[in-house]
């Protein structure tokens, strides 16, 4: 009798083990939430919502600024509109404080940054970039007749630049930065140039694209002088579109349409409309 119970117990135990094994196998074949999200959904999210939100400084001509009617216009504005059209989504422009634009991107307030955004080592640690679509340099603007004739003459002087711009690290990383008396930070290069004109600072450092546009659209262009490359600047910088580091599939799509726009001449056409020449690289 005891033997019969023992055999029955062993049989039940074996069946239980077999059932547990089958259950374990079945569970392992079910997709988990993690496995479903293993792929990068960034491009799908953009497509699903049907729009991409571009963060920018709306007082940074000619990349992006307000015209006399208050409409948002600019070189990068036109490029972004064309890219969105090719991506098949609506483009929404969202002005932000430039010194906090990277945080806006990482927080998800915007989908990308397209506004003469310099590709720097520091920024690459925080965000991803498309391939460069053009390059510029951080130039020095002074008043005509200034005692500043070369970059070396900035020693002991007060200079102005935009808060959060690439001009700031470009100046600070330069070998002669320790000789500069003071660096004043402004909301925009436009405001910095006003202080230069008023004599409150000795020079302004900003990218050449911005400076030349501001100076050439001013009726009295004799108010400012841009030092030549030989006289000195704070280095060249490539421009790219900024995205979140993990948005790989979205980045791939942006690079694809940027490449198309260069190849078919659309980017060159937009460049000619704003600068009278093709500065797209």
Task: Say whether both 124 and 249 belong to one domain.
Answer: yes
Residue 17, domain member (yes or no): no
Task: Say whether both 51 and 128 belong to one domain.
Answer: yes
Closest CA to 193 of 172, 174, 173, 220: 220
Closest CA to 80 of 248, 281, 261: 261
Q: How many domains does the chain have?
A: 2
Task: Say whether both 126 and 143 belong to one domain.
Answer: no
CB-CB neighbours of 246 under 10 Å: 12
Domain containing 211 equals: 137-237
pLDDT at 210: 87
Task: Say whether both 265 and 174 belong to one domain.
Answer: no
Task: Say whether both 142 and 232 belong to one domain.
Answer: yes
Digit-by-digit pLDDT tens for the chain (281 residues) are 444 444 444 444 444 444 444 444 333 343 333 333 457 999 999 999 999 999 999 999 999 999 999 999 999 999 999 999 999 999 999 999 999 999 999 999 999 999 999 999 999 999 999 999 999 999 999 999 999 999 999 999 999 999 989 999 999 999 999 999 999 999 999 999 999 999 999 999 999 988 888 887 766 568 899 999 999 999 999 999 999 999 999 999 999 999 999 999 999 999 999 988 888 87
Q: What is the CATH number of the domain that holds 117?
A: 3.40.190.10
Residue 103, domain member (yes or no): yes
Contact 143, 157 (CB under 8 A): no
Residue 219, domain member (yes or no): yes
Residue 24, domain member (yes or no): no
Task: Say whether both 127 and 190 belong to one domain.
Answer: no
Task: Say whether both 210 and 265 belong to one domain.
Answer: no
Residue 4, domain member (yes or no): no
Q: Which two tokens stand for residue 110?
A: 């915007």
Are β-strands 203-207 and 134-142 bridged in parallel, bridged antiparallel, or unpaired? Answer: antiparallel
The residues, any chain, with a CB within 8 Å of residue 53's CB and separated by 6 or more, are: 92, 93, 94, 109, 110, 111, 112
Task: Say whether both 127 and 247 belong to one domain.
Answer: yes
Residue 72, domain member (yes or no): yes
Task: Say whether both 245 and 127 belong to one domain.
Answer: yes
Task: Say whether both 222 and 156 belong to one domain.
Answer: yes
pTM of the model: 0.75
Residue 216, domain member (yes or no): yes
Task: Say whether both 48 and 125 belong to one domain.
Answer: yes
pLDDT at 220: 57
Residue 22, domain member (yes or no): no
Task: Say whether both 268 and 213 belong to one domain.
Answer: no
Helix ranges (H only) for 90-247 are 101-106, 121-124, 167-172, 189-198, 208-216
């Amino acid at each position: 009798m005891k033997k019969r119970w023992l055999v029955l117990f062993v049989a039940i135990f074996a069946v239980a083990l077999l059932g547990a094994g089958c259950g374990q196998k079945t569970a392992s074949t079910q997709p988990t939430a993690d496995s479903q999200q293993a792929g990068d959904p960034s491009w799908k999210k953009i497509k699903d919502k049907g729009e991409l939100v571009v963060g920018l400084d709306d007082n940074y001509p000619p990349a992006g600024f307000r015209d006399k009617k208050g409409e948002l216009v600019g070189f990068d504005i036109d490029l972004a509109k064309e890219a969105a059209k090719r991506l098949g989504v609506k483009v929404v422009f969202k002005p932000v404080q430039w010194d906090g634009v990277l945080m806006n991107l990482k927080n998800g307030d915007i989908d990308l940054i397209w506004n003469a955004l310099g590709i720097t080592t520091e920024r690459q640690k925080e965000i991803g970039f498309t391939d460069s679509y053009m390059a510029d340099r951080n130039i020095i603007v002074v008043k005509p007749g200034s005692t500043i004739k070369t970059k070396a003459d900035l020693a002991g002087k007060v200079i102005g630049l935009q808060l959060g711009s690439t001009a700031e690290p470009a100046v600070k990383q330069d070998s002669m930065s320790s000789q500069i008396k003071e660096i004043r930070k402004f909301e925009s290069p436009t405001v910095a140039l006003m202080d230069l004109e008023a004599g409150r600072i000795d020079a302004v450092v900003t990218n050449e694209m911005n400076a030349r546009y501001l100076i050439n659209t001013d009726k009295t262009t004799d108010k400012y002088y841009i030092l030549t490359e030989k006289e000195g600047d704070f280095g060249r910088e490539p421009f790219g579109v900024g995205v979140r580091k993990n948005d790989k599939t979205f980045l791939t799509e942006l690079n694809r349409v940027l490449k198309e726009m260069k190849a078919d001449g659309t980017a060159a056409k937009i460049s000619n409309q704003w600068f009278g020449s093709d500065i797209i690289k």
